[in-house]
Structure 1
Amino acid sequence: MLLRSAVPDDHAALRALWERTPGIQLRRDDDYEPFVLYLRRNPGLSLVLEEGDQVIGSLLAGHDGRRGYLQHLVVDEAFRGRGLARALLDEALARLAREGIGKSHVFVLRDAPEALAFWEAQAGWGRREDLQVFSVGG
């Protein structure tokens, strides 16, 4: 298994992985061009997990200079239960820490029970009850 930084050429395989994964909500920002811009703004932070020539996991990571933001933490269903999501998470947080980022956020859909269970089981991560998220745009 190989865990490495995401590159623009990964987009098609990642998009296919995200599309077949329940609990992942895709938007225009997940199209090729915004994906490439995101990687450029956050070099070396987003991750891909491969088994042979197959992409089996991902985690997009970036920051605004103060806080880290994580999206699309996915491990393909056939490879779950092996600690791979935690490996992706640990590596992304380590890379963010090297950039001076000590606090990160993840947004999880309320109707994604597997994702909610994963995040609730992670030491140090806590559900925020004091915030409500507001968004604008597509």
Structure 2
Amino acid sequence: MQICTMKIEDYDRVYQLWIRTPGMGLTNLDDSKEGIEKYLKRNPSTCFVAKEEERLLGVILGGHDGRRGYIYHMAVEKSERKKGIGTALLEASLEAFRREGITKTALVAYDSNDEGNEFWERRDFVLRKDLVYRTKDLVDMEVILP
């Protein structure tokens, strides 16, 4: 297995993985090829894919605002879970954050995503019950749930 920086050429296989992954919330704009290309240009060294030869095994989108790191859309092929791929992707992204001077990272997971939340808890991501997460769409978007 190889962990490589994600390139826009990986998008089609990454998107197919995302739409097959329960608990993944996608939108037609932010997660379109154009939206991900914009994200990769802003975060060229913090997004990774796991591959075995040309087969895509997993992906993590990591980015930061100069102060905090954020993890989005991490997914591993169902048949490849429990093999350390998710951990390897996470470590690649966290190390990239450290190299860029980021000292703290956060993520959002659906409350109903039991498997995902168990993964994050085992890797010492703390559930913050003192925060309220809010969003506001600035344009009309369609949410795509697998």
What's the TM-score, normalizing by structure 1?
0.96
1:44-99 deviations in whole A, cap 9, x for unaligned? Answer: 11000111211110000000010000011111011111111111111100001100
Corresponding letter in the other structure for 1:93: L
* Alpha-carbon distance between aligned partners in 2 of 1:55 and 1:24, rounded to the nearest angstrom: 17
Distance (Å, rounded) in 2 between the aligned partners of 1:44 and 1:10: 15
Q: Which residue of structure 2 aligns with residue 65 of structure 1?
A: 66
User: In structure 1, what is the equivalent of residue 108 of structure 2?
Assistant: 107
Return the alpha-carbon distance in structure 2 between the equivalents of residues 84 and 54 of structure 1: 13
Please tell me the residue identity of whatever aligns with 1:131.
Answer: L
Aligned residues: 137
Superposition CA RMSD, Å = 0.8
Question: How far did residue 101 of structure 1 move?
Answer: 0.3
Aligned to 1:21: 21
AA partner of residue 15 (structure 1): Y
The equivalent residue for 1:88 is: 89
Gaps of 5+ in 2: 142-146
Unaligned runs of 5+ in 1: none
| AA in 2 matched with 1:2 | Q
Does residue 120 of the first structure (1) align with residue 113 of the second (2)? no
Q: After superposition, what is the alpha-carbon deviation per residue over 1:11-56, rounded to whole angstroms, capped at 9, x for unaligned?
A: 1000000000111111121100010000000111100011121111
SS for the counterpart of 1:69 is strand
Structure with the bigger RCO (C-alpha within 8 Å, sep 6+) is 2
Residue 79 of structure 2 corresponds to 78
Match of 2:57 in 1: 56
State TM-score, norm by structure 2: 0.91
Give percent identity, aligned residues only: 36
